[in-house]
Amino acid sequence: MTPTGTDSAGHPRPVIDLHTHSAVSDGTETPAELVAAAATAGVDVLAITDHDTVTGWAEAAEAARVHGVTLVRGIEISCAWRHSSIHLLGYLPDAGDRPLMEELARARDSRSTRLERMVALMAADGIPLGYDEVLAQVGPDATPGRPHIADALIANGTIRHRDEAFRSWLGDDSPYYVGHYAPDPVRAVELVRAAGGVPVIAHPFTRTRSGDLDDALVERMRDAGLAGLEAFHRDHGPEEVARATALADRLGLLLTGSSDYHGEGKRNRLAENTTAPEVLDAIEAASSGATEVLRP
């Protein structure tokens, strides 16, 4: 499933990991540290895809040059769908595109308000936490998210790993859950395409409060310009991979795979799932060229 190492003719195939996070969103390493970790892990092509921001691109680009890693600059957009959030990867969009950047800024602003409300609900219920402690966990210009609440609870000794916070208080089903402004998934696909980027649904069959993503929505997203589905991902078992493969066949979509690495914030390891070189070529060909794949 994960084409790494050599191809059937014994030729080396590059290791391509197209979904990772830095401390510019909810990863635990700076963009430069993320790229260094990727080089150490044997990743040849890395995509940096922080939540709702391109702030990490410049630092990652510099580090990629130093470490000889090929860099795909991207984003992961949280989209509002029914009562859940679905995630859209956008590869190689133009960072100067006003409509897309304004949409991301709006989502980031709303994320701050939303974390403050979640903390207030938790504190009212006796969970020892102040919003200032949460802010202390968010890096400069970083996109705030629930993992930063978890980090504050780790810092004050309440828990040991983010996982515990998500199981107890931060899950989508939690009474403390508060949503934030996020674009509709079809609109997000349109925005990424209009910015010259290539949209791929991240981990489409991760379980959400709304149950599974329905095929009709994926079809509408395809009609709006969706390019692919991230089939090979830790949140997917064989059934989800089979479902993504069948759906991609029917709708003419690409299949990608990646780690969704968050440093120490998640158990996901770099390159635990990867994308085929032909698929990366197709993604690059589908982009406008405004943001290029950076080769060392």
Residues that bind Fe ion (CB under 5 A): 26, 87, 202
Binding partner at 50 among ligand AMP, Fe ion, Zn ion, none, C-beta below 5 to 8 Å by kind:
none
Q: Tell the smallest beta-carbon distance from residue 239 to Zn ion (Å).
A: 21
- Show contacts with Zn ion in window 181-210 (CB under 5 A): none
Distance between CA atoms of 156 and 162, rounded to whole angstroms?
13
Q: Which stretch binds ligand AMP (CB under 6 A): 35-43, 131-139, 199-207, 261-269?
A: 261-269
Task: Give the β-pairing of 16-17 and 228-232.
Answer: unpaired
Distance between CA atoms of 135 and 115, rounded to whole angstroms?
9
26 versus 44: smaller Cβ distance to ligand AMP: 26
The residue whose Cβ lies closest to ligand AMP is: 145
Residue showing tokens 């510019």: 24
Q: Estimate the crossing angle of helix 185-194 against helix 215-223, to 10 degrees.
A: 30
Alpha helices (runs of H) in the chain, residue ranges in sequence order = 31-40, 57-67, 98-124, 131-135, 146-155, 162-165, 185-194, 215-223, 238-251, 277-286
82 torsion bin: left (phi>0), alpha (psi -120 to 50), beta (else): left
Q: Is 265 in the site for ligand AMP (CB under 6 A)?
A: yes
- Show contacts with ligand AMP in window 140-179 (CB under 6 A): 145-147, 162-163, 166
- Show contacts with Zn ion in window 99-118 (CB under 5 A): none
Residues ≥6 apart with Cβ < 8 Å to 132: none
Size of interface with ligand AMP, in residues (CB under 6 A): 13
Q: Is 260 in the site for Zn ion (CB under 5 A)?
A: yes
The candidate with the shortest Cα–Cα distance to 47, out of 90, 79, 81, 83, is 90
Q: Is 262 in the site for ligand AMP (CB under 6 A)?
A: yes
Number of Cβ within 10 Å of residue 220's Cβ equals 15
**What would the x/- binding string for ligand AMP be over residues 64 to 103, using CB under 6 A?**
--------------x------x------------------
Q: Tell the smallest beta-carbon distance from residue 76 to Zn ion (Å).
A: 5
Applying CB under 6 A, which residues contact ligand AMP?
26, 51, 78, 85, 145-147, 162-163, 166, 262, 265-266
